[in-house]
Each structure stands twice: as C-alpha cells, then as structure tokens.
Structure 1
Amino acid sequence: MEVARFEGNGFLETHIVESVSWDDLERYAASKAGGSSEKHHHSWRSHQHDSSRKDDESPGELYELWRQEQNIIAARLDKELKSRWELDELIEEQLSRYQSHYYKAMVATSLKDVSNLLMPTWIPPHELAAVSWLGDCRPTAILDLLRVLAAQNPNFSLSESSERVLSQLVREIRIEEAVIDEEYAEIQATCVLHLPFSPLCNAQSREEALGSVQELFGNINKVISKAQRLRYKVLELVMKKLLNQTDTAEFVVAFAGIQDVIHQYGEQKKLKKLYPTVSMKGSGSSS
C-alpha cells in the first residue's frame, strides 16, 4: 500500500509500506488527533471489538462472560456497602462515647465532690466557661451548629422536612432547658440555708445538718445529671433521627473539631496564666 505524506518543505513524499492494515491507519490517525480523541477512539474500538467478539462466541462463552461481569459489579457494590457499614459503625461508636461521657455518674459525698461536679478542675477555665451549663452553654447550641453547617458547607444540606423537625426540636429542648435552669436557681437560692454557719444549721443537731447537706449534694447531682442527659438526647436525635449517614459524619467531625479548638484555646490561656511572659528591657537585663 502507498502512503502519501507531506514533509516540512511542502513536497509530497511517497513511501511503499508493506502489510499496512486499516487498524494501523486508524491508530495513526487517532495518535494525530490528540489524547482525548485517542481515548474515545480506543473505547469505540474496544466496544466494536467486544461486540464482534461476542458475535463470534458460543452461548456458553457468552454466559461465562456475563457471569464474570456480574461478579465484578457485585464486588464493587459490596465494597461500597461495606464502606457504609463501617461508617455506621464509626458513628455508633462515637455516639456511645458521648453516652458514656454524659452519663458518667459522680456521687457527691463531700464538698470537694460538689465542686468537681460544678467546676471540674481538670478542665481549663476558658473551656469550662464555653461548654458548661453554668457557662450558659445549652444543648440548643448543638442544634445551632446544624444551621451553620448547612449555610457554610455545600455538601451539607437540610431538607424542608428536616428544617421543620429541627425548628420543633429547638422549641422542645428550650422548654427542657428552662426547667433545668429553674432547678439550678432553686438550689442556688436555698443552698446557703444548709451551710454550717447558717441559722438553720445552728438550730439543728449535727446529724440533721449532715442529712440536709447530703440532700443538697443529691439535688445538685440530679440536676447536673439531668443536664448531661439532655445534651446526649439532642446528640442522639441529631445523629440518628434528623440527618442521613453522610451528613451525620459531617456533623460529628465538625462537633469534635469545635470542642478540640475550645480545649486547645483553654490550655493556651491556662499556660499563659501559669507562666506569664516577662518582657526584656534592654540587652543587659536578666530574667
């Protein structure tokens, strides 16, 4: 077969090429057409080849090919399902960790126990002010995070039905928060009556005074436990009832990230308070 080719000088040069097939010419044309065209041509040729091959194959061979293709797709689907199951397991594991944290009971038997219930010494003060009930952090702040995510993250979406459920949930949780606030206020208003120097305690016997203090400790423990259970209740509703699997994972990551940022900030402020920096005045001064 003769193949004509133009050189750079414009002259037509003819070569005699032996054993040139149409497939060779098609591959040559595809290579000149560019990468994308080559891929398209290759896929078209593969499809044509598969079609012609299937025409030539026996029914038994076609069945075996169909079975193999079916198994390949099934394996891919199984991999996707396993990934979703693993994601569900991680979400459940994280939720169980929240449950163990918020349902952790501490029986108040001394004044030290009560102070640890109200203001744990192992939490930096700035973090405590940001995430505790006494720091005015309420479970509805968790629900506010959903709207922030929906506004800032294009991959996070709340349907109209979810928005309605969220609004109703906010109203219900605020009522429960108000009840807990009232119980806190009642304890704060009456706790002074149970202090050792109060007139009420002076009029009581030692056993009666200790019993009143113990009752006060129990009331404080009940209110704090109730507040913690409400936090978990909100998390459980958000993660299991309100959001789908992907959005739940997005929420868990964001919620953990916010808590970690607050903790790191609190630790930095605590270190600055313990080890304040000393400004050096002049090169000859010493610390």
Structure 2
Amino acid sequence: MTRTMEVARFEENGFEEPNNGEEVSWDVLEREAASNVSSKRSQSGRPHQQDFSRKGDELSGDLYELWRQEQNSIAARLDKELKSRWELDELIEEQLSRYESHYYMAMVSTSLKDVSNLVIPMWLPPHELAAVAWLGDWRPTSILDLVRILAAHNPSFSLSESSERVLSQFLREIRIEEAVIDEEYAEIQATCVLHLPFSPLCNTRSHEEALHSVQELFENIHKVISKAQRLRYKVLELVMKKLLNQTDTAEFVVAFAGIQDAIHQFGEQKKLKKLYPAVLSPLKGSGSSS
C-alpha cells in the first residue's frame, strides 16, 4: 500500500520512478520539488529582469556619455594650457635671444669711437649709465640677488632647497669671475694715463706710435667690457634655463625688464629736469587774486 501511494504521488507530481528499484526518501523529493519551484519562479521573473537590465543599460550609456564629454572638456583645457606653455617657452627664448644680441654687441665694436661709446654711451641718461653700467657697480650677481628677492617676497615664486643650493653655488662662482674682471679693469685705469697724448711717454714717441698706444688701450678696454657682457648673459642664461621653472622664469623676466625700464624712466626724468628746469611758481598771495 505504501509503495502504491508513493508511485501515485510520483505520477501526480510529474516525477518518474527510479529505475534502480530503491525506495526514494522524502528528502530527495523535497529537494527536487524545491528545485522545480525555483526554476518556475526564475522563468516567470525573466521579463522584469530584462526590463531592469534595459533600463540599466540606458543609465550606463548616459553616464558613459557624460564621462566622455567631461573627459574631452578637460583634455581640451589641458591642450590649451599646453599650447600656452609652448607659447610661453617661445617668448622666453625670444627674450633671452634679445639679451644675447644686446650684450654681445660689444664684441662687434672695433673703432675707437665704438669703444668709447661702450664706456660712456651717449644715448643713456647719466643716472641710468651709473646704475646699469659696469662702472656703476652693476654686477651680474645683482641678477641672482633679484632671484632671491622674488623668492622672499613673492608667494607664487617657488624656489626649492636644491635650487637654493645651486643659487648659492652660482653666486660664489660669479663673484670670482667678477673679481677677475674688476682687477683687469683696475689695471687699465691705473695705466691708461701712460697711453694718453700728454703723458711723458707719448712726448718721446712719434704720432704713429702714440696712436698705436691709444689703440692698444682701447682694445684692452673692449676686451674687458666684452668679457663683462658675456658674464651678464651667462648669468641670465643660467637663471632662465637651469635655475627656475617656466612660470618663475616668466616672472623673473617681467621683474628684470621692469627694473631696467624704471631706471631708464628715472634717468630720463632727471635729464629733462636738468635740460629744462621748471620755472618757479609765484609765491602765494602775489599777483592777482584770481
């Protein structure tokens, strides 16, 4: 009877009787029934999962499109920034080349007139000449001092510890070269009187010999000033190419040009006041009451 009931339950539930003839336990039947129920539930739930998956795909597509647009926008900004940096590099190189051509003009001069213009340029106001010429104590180390001033007073000017060490090393090396130039120029100043036409030595020489002596004196002056100009450019090149980064180099160039322009404007004003002194205004209370 029990066997017949089990077979009937198998047929009602759609199960087949095992071929091995062994009795099937209720645990096995419960597991298989649970498996069938879960299978039917999964089949009945597939349309909802497909709708959710479709909505998820649309949402993911929108997020991807937004991410792609933001990526392209940032890339465009970076590209613009890179182009600006390339333009900044070109401007820095152009400015450096202008300094090179200006400081190396001294090497082209050969005549006595050109050398005298190097010593006392007629186109410079006296105050500017005293400030920026070698005789006015304008030294290449002043360029390095400007770097330290900018680093101390400009928050955006970054000078790392390694750059500070390099700067100190540059100062020591440049001061040695400055001292050599000072000694050479001091020797010229001490002996130049011997080459002048009214010196006792020139009185015993012929006109050609005296002219040759003066020519030799000016050539020595030309060599010293040319060496000083090369040293100035060397310091500028070291600062702009080896010491500072791109942004700091741009700030340094602006400050350096601003200082030179301020000195020039000051010298021009002093020159004009000397040439055209201001007329004193009448004392208060004198003249008409209007």
Query: Which TM-score tier does this pair reach, normalised by the shorter chain?
Result: 0.7 to 0.9
What secondary structure is seen at the aligned counterpart in 2 of 1:57?
helix
Consecutive unaligned residues in structure 1, runs of 5 or more:
1-51
CA distance in 1 between partners of 2:266 and 2:54 (Å): 67
Instruction: Give the percent of matched residue pairs that are identical in Structure 1 and Structure 2.
Output: 84
Could you tell me the TM-score, scaled by structure 1's length? 0.75
Partner of 1:122: 123
Partner of 1:161: 162
CA distance in 2 between partners of 1:221 and 1:84 (Å): 39
Partner of 1:101: 102
Query: Aligned in 2, Cα 1:171/1:54: closer, same or farther, shift over 3 Å?
Result: farther
1:186-197 alignment runs, 5 A limit: 186-197=187-198
Could you tell me the TM-score, scaled by structure 2's length? 0.74
Partner of 1:256: 257
What secondary structure is seen at the aligned counterpart in 1 of 2:174?
helix
CA distance in 2 between partners of 1:93 and 1:53 (Å): 60
CA distance in 1 between partners of 2:136 and 2:55 (Å): 72
Partner of 1:179: 180
**Structure with more contact order per residue of length (Cα contacts < 8 Å, sep ≥ 6):** 2
CA distance in 1 between partners of 2:271 and 2:202 (Å): 38
Query: Aligned in 2, Cα 1:70/1:279: closer, same or farther, shift over 3 Å?
Result: closer
Q: For the aligned residues, what is the CA RMSD?
A: 2.4
User: Is the helix fraction higher in 1 or 2?
Assistant: 2
Give the Å deviation of 1:147.
1.1
Partner of 1:41: none
1:73-112 alignment runs, 5 A limit: 73-105=74-106, 106-110=108-112, 112=113
What secondary structure is seen at the aligned counterpart in 2 of 1:276?
coil
Query: Retained in 2: the 8 A contact 1:54–1:62?
Result: no
Give the Å deviation of 1:65.
6.4
Q: Give CA deviations for 1:166-189 in whole Å, capped at 9, x if unaligned.
A: 111101000000000011011111
Q: Give CA deviations for 1:105-155 in whole Å, capped at 9, x if unaligned.
A: 342423x43331111111111111111110011110111111111111110
CA distance in 2 between partners of 1:226 and 1:256 (Å): 22
Partner of 2:248: 247
CA distance in 1 between partners of 2:116 and 2:212 (Å): 19
CA distance in 1 between partners of 2:56 and 2:208 (Å): 98
CA distance in 1 between partners of 2:99 and 2:234 (Å): 10
Partner of 1:12: none
Q: Which structure has the larger Rg?
A: 2
Q: Does 1:145 align with 2:130?
A: no
Q: Does 1:210 align with 2:211?
A: yes
Query: Aligned in 2, Cα 1:104/1:54: closer, same or farther, shift over 3 Å?
Result: farther
